[in-house]
C-alpha cells in the first residue's frame, strides 16, 4: 500500500482498483465531498469509546487523536494491504468487515475475520515489521487509519492505553505463545526426568530468537548463532549423545573431577565431566535458567548441524572428508594448512568458512564431519534430588565466606557487632579488586611500559582515563609474569580471594576496609575512612534464577549488618550503543510480567557518573529480566521497548530484587538499605551486528565498567564516612 495521504481529516474516497490508488486519490475526493467535520468527529469519538484500548484514553487524548485520523472506503473484494508491505498504518473499522488471509502452497488460507468496531494492522505499527498477512475487504468497508508513528506516540504518552494494549497482545492475541509452548515442553521434560532435543526443535523454531537470525533459512549457515552456542556448550558436544543433568553431586560420586575428564565450555561456567564415550554429566545451577540455556544452545547446534549435513550429504564429499581426516591423523605436520585448503573444496561460501573457523578454530573439518554425522541425537536425563538432608553446595559456599569473615574480623559472620557493616557487590572478578589492590597500582608504569613495548592492542588506543588502560593491560601482563615466575603475583593485605566456588561458579572477594586505609587505591575514589571497620563482599555474576538462592543466603547470613547492596552488571540495550550505562527504575520479569519498582540510589549521583565518562550516555527506565539469551525475538524486543518503555534486558535483576523485598517484609534486613543498580551495555540484541555473538572489545567495555565500579565504591566510602561520624 502507498504512503499515508496528507489529506484533510475524514476525507472520503470512492472505490478504486487498489489501496495505493485510494491513498493517492483521496485528496481530490476530499475536496469534492466536503465532509461535515463535526459529524465526523462525533462518529470517530463514538467508535473510539467502544474499542479497547482506545476507550481508556482521556477525552483530551481522544480529541487530539481524531485530528490525526484519515477515513477511507474500500469496495468488497479489494485488497487493503498485502503480505510483505512495509507501510505501517493501523486501521479502525467503522463499517463492514475484512478478512486476513495467507497464501500457501495448499491455496489461500483465511486466518481471521474482523468486523466493525474493531481494529487491525497494529503489529506493523508497534513492531516495525512488514505485513505478515494480506487483508481484504469482505464487504464495502469504511475505516479510519492512524499512522504507525502516531500510534507509537500514543503508546508512549498514555500508560493506560499501553497497559491495555499489552494485555490484548499477550493474552488475547498470544504474541508470545511460542515462548510459552517451548518452555512448557521443557518443564514437562524436566518433570518427566528426560527429553529429546529433536522433539523440541519445532517449538524452538517458532520462537525465532533474535540471536539466531537465519534459523528458518535453510540456504544459509548461521555461523554467528552457531559460534555463540558452541562456546557455551561442553567441549565434546559433537561427540556426545546423552547428558545426565544433576542439581547436586551424587553421594557415591562426591568428587567427579577425580574420576572423569572435564568437558568445559569456553564461555559458560559449566561443570561437566565425560563419564564414558557419548555420555556426559553436568551439574546445573539452581532454578531453570541454566537448563534453558543448555537446551536452547543444543537447539541452535541441532538446527545448524542439519544444514551442514545437507551440504555434506553427497557420498563423494563424505569420502573425501574421511580420507582428509585419515591423512591428518597419520601426518599431523602441516595439518592446519591442509585443513584451510580442504575447506575451500567444500560447498560453503567464503563467509561461511570464516564463520565455521571462528566457531571451531582448530580441527574445523573434524568438527564439521562430526556435526554432520551426529544427526542431533541429544537425550537429556534430568535428576533432581528431593528430601535432601546433606549440605547443598550453596551452603558450603556460604560457609566458606563465613570462615573468611572470621579470619578478617575475629567474629562469626552472624555475630558481627553493629559497627561492622557488610556492603554486598555483585559484579565481576576484576574491577573492584583492581581499584583497591595497591600491589597492582604501584606497578602501573611498569605494566603500561610493557604494553607499549609489546605493541599490545590496548596500548595503541587513546584512553580517557589512564588507569583504565592499566586495568585493560593487567590481565595479560600478570598472566605472562606468572608463567615466568609462578606465585609472584601478590594482592594487598586485607583482601581475601575465594577462587574455590564449591561448584556454584561464583568466586568471591572480601575486603577489610580498615586494612586498606592509607594504601594506594584508584585515584578516582575518595579516601577510605580511617575509622571504618566494615567489609566489602564482592561476588561474581550469578546466572539467572541462581541469583535468588545466592542473594537469599547472603541476606540471611548478614541481616542487620548489611550496609548496602550494589548490583553492577552488563546488559543488552534497546537503545543507545555498546558501552552506554543503563540505570533501572524497575524490573519486569519476562515469565510473569512481574513489575517491581527499584529505589535506585544511583539516580542521586548521575551527574558525578557522567563526569567520569567521555561520550558515554546514561539511560534511565525499566529493565526486562529474560529467561535466557535465546528467549528473545524481534517482536518481544519491540513489545517491551514500546509498550513497557524498557531500556534494556538482563537475567538476574528480578531475582535479586524479589529476595531483597521479601527480606525487608520479614524484618530480616533494615527497610532503608541503600541499593545501587548499574548496568553497562554489552550488546544490542535487536542489531545483528552488535549482538552477544559478535563480542565486545576492551575499549568498549573497560571504561563504562570501571566508571560504575568507581561510583559504587565512592558511594560505599561516603556512607562509611557518615556512619563513622554518627
| Mean pLDDT within 47-57 | 92
Identify the residue whose cell numbers are 537465519.
Answer: 214
Q: How confident is the model at residue 707 (pLDDT cuts 50, 70, 90)?
A: very high
Q: Which of 303-317, 330-344, 404-418, 706-720 is least confident?
A: 330-344
Residue 21: is its pLDDT beyond 60? no
Provide the mean pLDDT of the chain.
89
- The answer on 682 and 661 residing in a single domain is yes
Q: How confident is the model at residue 390 (pLDDT cuts 50, 70, 90)?
A: low
- The answer on 134 and 260 residing in a single domain is no
Q: What is d(CA 504, CA 507) in angstroms, rounded to the nearest whole number?
A: 8
Q: Is position 80 within any domain?
A: yes
- Last-in-domain residue among 140, 172, 204: 172
Q: What is the CATH number of the domain that holds 128?
A: 2.60.120.10
Q: Is position 515 within any domain?
A: yes
Q: What is d(CA 47, CA 51) in angstroms, rounded to the nearest whole number?
A: 7
The pLDDT tens digits for 103-154 are: 887 788 999 999 999 999 999 988 888 999 999 999 999 999 999 999 999 9
Residue 9: is its pLDDT beyond 50? no
Please report the pLDDT score of residue 289 as a whole number: 94
- The answer on 195 and 139 residing in a single domain is no
| Residue 557 DSSP code | H
- The answer on 374 and 420 residing in a single domain is no
Residue 57: is its pLDDT beyond 70? yes
Q: What is d(CA 404, CA 412) in angstroms, rounded to the nearest whole number?
A: 9
348 torsion bin: left (phi>0), alpha (psi -120 to 50), beta (else): beta
Q: Is position 451 within any domain?
A: no
| Mean pLDDT within 592-599 | 90
- Last-in-domain residue among 381, 402, 422: 381
Q: Is position 265 within any domain?
A: yes
Q: How confident is the model at residue 39 (pLDDT cuts 50, 70, 90)?
A: low
- The answer on 376 and 234 residing in a single domain is yes
**Helix H or strand E segment including 465:** none
Please report the pLDDT score of residue 726 as a whole number: 67
The pLDDT tens digits for 471-494 are: 999 999 998 888 777 766 678 889
Q: What grid cell was written down for 261?
A: 575428564
Q: Pairing mode, if any, of strands 107-115 and 97-104?
A: antiparallel
The pLDDT tens digits for 514-533 are: 999 999 999 999 999 999 99
- The answer on 674 and 576 residing in a single domain is yes
Residue 86: is its pLDDT beyond 80? yes
| Mean pLDDT within 152-179 | 90
- Last-in-domain residue among 172, 195, 210: 172
Q: What is residue 104's three-state secondary structure?
A: strand
Structural contact between residues 22 and 74, judged by C-beta atoms closer than 8 angstroms? yes
Q: What is the CATH number of the domain that holds 523?
A: 3.40.50.1580
Counting DSSP H helices and E strands in the chain, the numbers are: 24, 24
- The answer on 221 and 136 residing in a single domain is no
The pLDDT tens digits for 537-562 are: 999 999 999 999 999 999 999 999 99
- The answer on 551 and 515 residing in a single domain is yes
Q: Is position 711 within any domain?
A: yes
Residue 138, preceding peptide bond in cis (omega within 30° of 0): no
- The answer on 419 and 374 residing in a single domain is no
The pLDDT tens digits for 329-382 are: 888 788 888 999 999 999 999 999 999 999 999 999 999 999 999 988 999 999
| Mean pLDDT within 404-425 | 95
Q: Is position 5 within any domain?
A: no
Flag whether the pTM goes above 0.85. Answer: yes
Q: Which of 383-387, 454-458, 590-594, 703-707 is least confident?
A: 383-387
- The answer on 401 and 375 residing in a single domain is no
**Helix H or strand E segment including 708:** helix 698-725
Q: What is d(CA 674, CA 310) in angstroms, rounded to the nearest whole number?
A: 57
Domain span at residue 632 reads 393-437+491-725
Q: How confident is the model at residue 387 (pLDDT cuts 50, 70, 90)?
A: low
For the chain, how many structural domains are there in total?
3
- The answer on 365 and 336 residing in a single domain is yes
- The answer on 222 and 145 residing in a single domain is no
Amino acid at each position: 500500500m502507498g504512503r499515508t495521504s496528507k489529506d484533510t481529516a475524514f476525507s472520503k474516497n470512492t472505490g478504486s482498483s487498489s489501496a495505493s490508488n485510494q491513498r493517492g486519490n483521496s485528496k481530490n475526493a476530499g475536496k469534492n465531498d466536503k465532509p461535515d467535520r463535526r459529524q465526523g468527529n462525533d462518529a470517530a469519538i463514538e467508535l473510539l469509546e467502544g474499542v479497547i484500548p482506545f476507550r481508556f484514553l482521556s477525552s483530551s487524548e481522544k480529541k487530539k487523536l481524531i485530528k490525526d485520523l484519515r477515513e477511507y472506503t474500500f469496495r468488497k473484494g479489494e485488497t487493503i494491504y498485502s503480505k510483505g508491505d512495509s507501510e505501517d498504518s493501523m486501521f479502525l473499522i467503522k463499517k463492514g468487515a475484512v478478512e486476513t488471509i495467507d497464501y500457501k502452497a495448499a491455496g489461500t488460507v483465511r486466518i481471521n475475520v474482523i468486523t466493525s468496531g474493531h481494529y487491525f494492522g497494529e503489529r506493523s505499527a508497534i513492531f516495525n515489521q512488514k505485513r505478515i498477512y494480506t487483508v481484504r475487504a469482505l464487504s464495502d468497508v469504511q475505516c479510519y487509519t492512524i499512522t504507525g508513528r502516531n500510534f507509537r506516540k500514543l503508546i508512549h504518552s498514555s500508560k493506560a492505553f499501553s497497559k491495555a494494549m499489552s494485555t490484548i497482545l499477550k493474552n488475547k492475541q498470544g504474541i508470545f505463545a511460542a515462548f510459552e509452548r517451548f518452555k512448557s515442553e521443557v518443564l514437562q521434560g524436566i518433570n518427566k526426568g528426560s527429553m529429546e532435543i529433536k522433539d523440541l526443535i519445532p517449538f524452538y523454531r517458532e520462537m525465532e530468537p533474535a540471536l539466531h537470525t537465519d534459523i528458518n533459512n535453510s540456504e544459509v549457515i548461521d555461523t554467528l548463532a552457531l559460534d555463540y552456542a558452541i562456546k557455551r556448550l561442553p567441549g565434546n558436544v559433537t561427540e556426545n549423545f546423552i547428558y545426565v543433568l544433576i542439581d547436586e553431586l551424587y553421594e557415591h560420586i562426591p568428587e567427579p573431577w577425580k574420576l572423569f575428564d572435564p568437558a568445559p565450555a569456553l564461555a559458560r561456567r559449566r561443570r561437566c565431566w565425560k563419564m564414558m564415550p557419548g555420555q556426559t554429566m553436568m551439574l546445573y545451577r539452581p532454578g531453570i535458567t541454566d537448563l534453558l540455556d543448555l537446551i536452547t544452545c543444543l537447539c541452535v547446534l541441532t538446527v545448524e548441524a542439519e544444514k551442514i549435513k545437507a551440504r555434506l550429504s553427497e557420498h563423494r564429499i563424505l569420502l573425501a572428508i574421511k580420507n582428509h581426516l585419515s591423512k591428518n591423523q597419520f601426518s599431523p605436520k602441516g595439518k592446519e594448512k591442509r585443513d584451510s585448503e580442504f575447506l575451500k573444496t567444500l560447498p560453503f561460501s567464503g563467509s561461511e568458512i570464516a564463520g565455521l573457523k571462528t566457531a571451531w578454530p582448530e580441527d574445523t573439518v573434524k568438527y564439521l564431519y562430526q556435526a554432520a554425522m551426529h544427526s542431533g541425537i541429544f537425550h537429556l536425563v534430568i535428576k533432581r534430588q528431593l528430601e535432601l538432608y546433606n549440605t547443598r553446595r550453596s551452603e558450603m559456599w556460604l560457609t566458606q565466606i563465613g570462615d573468611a569473615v572470621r579470619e578478617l574480623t575475629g567474629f562469626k559472620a552472624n555475630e558481627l557487632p553493629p559497627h561492622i557493616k557488610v556492603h554486598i557487590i555483585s559484579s565481576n572478578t576484576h574491577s573492584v579488586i583492581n581499584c583497591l589492590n595497591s600491589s597492582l597500582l604501584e606497578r602501573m608504569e611498569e605494566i603500561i611500559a610493557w604494553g607499549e613495548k609489546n605493541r599490545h592492542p590496548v596500548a595503541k588506543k587513546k584512553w580517557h582515563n589512564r588507569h583504565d588502560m592499566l586495568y585493560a593491560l593487567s590481565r595479560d601482563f600478570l598472566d605472562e609474569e606468572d608463567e615466568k615466575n609462578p606465585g609472584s603475583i601478590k594482592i594487598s593485605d586485607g583482601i581475601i580471594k575465594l577462587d574455590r566456588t564449591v561448584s556454584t561458579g561464583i568466586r568471591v572477594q572480601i575486603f577489610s576496609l580498615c586494612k586498606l586505609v592509607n594504601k594506594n587505591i584508584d585515584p578516582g575514589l575518595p579516601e577510605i575512612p580511617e575509622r571504618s571497620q566494615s567489609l566489602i563482599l564482592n561476588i561474581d555474576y550469578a546466572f539467572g534464577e541462581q541469583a535468588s538462592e545466592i542473594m537469599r543466603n547472603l541476606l540471611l547470613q548478614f541481616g542487620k549488618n548489611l550496609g548496602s547492596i550494589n548490583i553492577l552488571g552488563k546488559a543488552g540495550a534497546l537503545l543507545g550503543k555498546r558501552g552506554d550505562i543503563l540505570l533501572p527504575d524497575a524490573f519486569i520479569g519476562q515469565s510473569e510480567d512481574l513489575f517491581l519498582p527499584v529505589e535506585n540510589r544511583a539516580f542521586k549521583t548521575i551527574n558525578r557518573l557522567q563526569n567520569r565518562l567521555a561520550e558515554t550516555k546514561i539511560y534511565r527506565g525499566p529493565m526486562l529480566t529474560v529467561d535466557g539469551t535465546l528467549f528473545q525475538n524481534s517482536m518481544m524486543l519491540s513489545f517491551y521497548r514500546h509498550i513497557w518503555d524498557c531500556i534494556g534486558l538482563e537475567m538476574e535483576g528480578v531475582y535479586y530484587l524479589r529476595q531483597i523485598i521479601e527480606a525487608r517484609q520479614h524484618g530480616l534486613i533494615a527497610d532503608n538499605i541503600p541499593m545501587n543498580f548499574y548496568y553497562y551495555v554489552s550488546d544490542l540484541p535487536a542489531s545483528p551486528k552488535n549482538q552477544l555473538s559478535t563480542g565486545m572489545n576492551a575499549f568498549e567495555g573497560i571504561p563504562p565498567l570501571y566508571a560504575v565500579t568507581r561510583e559504587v565504591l565512592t558511594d560505599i566510602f561516603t556512607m562509611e564516612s557518615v556512619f563513622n561520624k554518627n
